[in-house]
A and B are shown apart, each in its own frame.
Chain A
Amino acid sequence: MTEQGFDSMNGMEFDFLKEIGNIGAGNATTALATMLKLKVEMQVPKVALLDFQELPEILGGAENPIAGILLTLRGEIEGMMMFVLEYSAARSMVNLLMGQEKPVEEPLDEIEASALQEVGNIITGAYLSALSNLTNLAMSPSVPYISVDMAGAILSVPAIEFGKIGDKALLIETEFGEKASSVNGYFILIPTLEAYNKILHSFGM
């Protein structure tokens, strides 16, 4: 493995990160199902390496309202982990969680925002523990931070971090939910360059 960013990633490295994504998202889905006491199905996650300009397009364009939950990572893997979903999806998830049926356009109140923050915390935690088990690298996540705003604005945070190492971002899309009310969520793992190389080294690359 050369000490480079995502831009020069080869097929084997991409497959490896995809596998981490699969297992991580699988863990996260189980955690979500337990929390919502629902049978939650998960589609096979899609993993993509995107130009960071394209990131907001996945979430309905730069001005579309989305919810982002961000954790910073310390330890052997340093960086950030983000879970993002469209605002309407966040609203349905919160409704499911709280057993209510508020309209999609209604903003989250304080209790609802902290419920969503907790959902983000649990599913990113499940994702990260898979990453930690697979790589044998320890990390400790911070408390989760939440923000609801335009997609471009929220995604500027990971884009800037990726921007330090290159022009691409690694995105893992996961579709959760029952058929009727499926919810699309996206994980964005933003390791520092050093951590990224450590992750690949852990698999002998």
Chain B
Amino acid sequence: MGTMIKVGMADLNFCHEPDAITTLGLGSCVGVVLYDPVKKVAGLVHIMLPDSTKIKNNENKAKFADTGIEEMLGIIIREGATRARIKAKIAGGAQMFAFSTENDLLRVGTKNVEAVKAELLKLRIPIVAEDTGKNYGRTIEFYPETEELLVKAVGRAPYKI
């Protein structure tokens, strides 16, 4: 067993096999895993908001879908990943409160997922698995060795995607 590397909110990091990488308690944020299945290197970025250009205070690249994924991509390529082989797995973007209002503010989970997908499409990185939306929080763990993303949620059996 390797080490488990933790990624906080609006943060990113990478790991090589046999290590694994995790982020705890994803709610409306989206966890994006980028990995090279041959080199067994993976990066995980914990995205909080869709668009850095709409926010004044945007120095932290990991916080936003449009800057965080690109940053993560650069880092895993530096760590030995081959651009053409990189794939993505994504999880999170839940709606934690069952709002019935039209209030736009509250659809942030959905907006994060949409922005992440748009960015991955733009970068031509295929999404091979996803577990997004719904109304519960998730802890995710990615194992580069097996390419499995383990999802844990309260009151549910853990599952792999």
Point out residues on A near B: beta carbons under 8 Å.
5, 7, 52-53, 56, 61-63, 65, 68, 70, 72, 80, 107, 142, 145-157, 159-161, 163-167
Report yes or no: A149 in contact with B96, Cβ–Cβ below 8 A: yes
Task: Tell me if B99 and A53 are in contact (CB < 8 A).
Answer: no
Asked whether, in the complex, the Cβ of A7 is within 8 Å of the Cβ of B57, the reply is yes
> Contact: A153 with B57, CB < 8 Å?
no
When chains A and B are docked, how far (Å) is the Cα of A56 from the Cα of B26?
11
For chain B, residues 107 to 161, give those with C-beta under 8 angstroms from any C-beta of chain A: 108, 135-139, 154-155
B contacts with A, residue count (CB < 8 A): 34
Q: Which of B6-14, B36-44, B65-73, B75-83 contacts A (4 or more CB under 8 A)?
A: B6-14
Which residues from B are CB-within-8-Å of A151?
Answer: 25
Contact between A156 and B9, CB atoms less than 8 A apart: yes
Whether the pair A159, B9 counts as a contact (CB closer than 8 A) is yes
A-B pairs with lowest CB-CB distance, top 7: A152-B25, A153-B137, A156-B27, A153-B27, A62-B25, A62-B24, A150-B25
The reply to whether A156 and B57 contact each other, CB–CB distance below 8 Å, is no
Once A65-B154, A149-B96 are accepted as A-B contacts, the answer to whether A160 and B48 lie under 8 Å apart by CB is yes
Q: Are the C-beta atoms of B24 and A164 separated by less than 8 Å? A: no
A163, closest chain B residue (CB): B48
**Given known A-B contacts A52-B9, A156-B29, A167-B57, A149 and B24 have beta carbons under 8 A apart:** no
